Amino acid sequence: MRCFLAIELDDLVRDRLSKVIDDWSQHKASVKWVERDNLHLTIKFLGQFPDERVDDLSQRLQEVCRSVQPFVFNVEGTGVFPDWKRPRVIWIGVRDGELLKQVHKKVEGVTSRLGVEREERPFHPHITVGRVRTHQEIKPLMDAVKSLKDEPFGSVRADHLTFFESRLTSQGPIYRVISRFAFGGESG
């Protein structure tokens, strides 16, 4: 199954980001926008992961998450990957992302021991809100994205890690929660 590990966002932050996405989607640029209910902060994309290894991974994640205390991070600012001239991904940023980086490092250790490749690029905590399809008429949208580069969007209390399955459909991805692992506690 195709899956990933993420921090879920609270409704207030999702609502704020959804409003920004609605505003940006008025531009003529060709972008596939993320649906409100699919907004999250990816800690680790696993790709195709064998069904028979899910229980083993879940047990290891539960152990790792017990060692992490709940924390708060601020959702703030905007940007793009790889750069402003040829953007492919539009994102909302995170301030105070050090604890997210620590969670990523622990998760990366667990998943690499189960055969998932380590990410070569440094982990940059962010919330993907759109994927650019073409660069035609992109400049007005990029100006709008840049205009919110220091904008605060709220705080998120991270108290668990979520294991998602992602099924790709012609209407967009469908996410299903496989399990949630409480920081400092039990899975649900």
Distance (Å, whole) CA 93 – CA 107: 21
> Which residues partner with 91 through β-bridges?
79, 128
CA distance 118 to 131: 23
Q: Which of 27, 40, 124, 160 is catalytic?
A: 40
Among this protein's residues, is 126 annotated catalytic?
A: yes
SS3 169: strand
CB 39 within 8 A of CB 17: yes
Nearest Cα residue to 72 out of 5, 9, 4: 9
Task: Enumerate the β-bridge partners of residue 47.
Answer: 3
Given 27, 104, 126, 160, which residue is catalytic? Answer: 126
Tell me whether residue 160 is one of the annotated catalytic residues. Answer: no
The catalytic residue positions are 40, 126
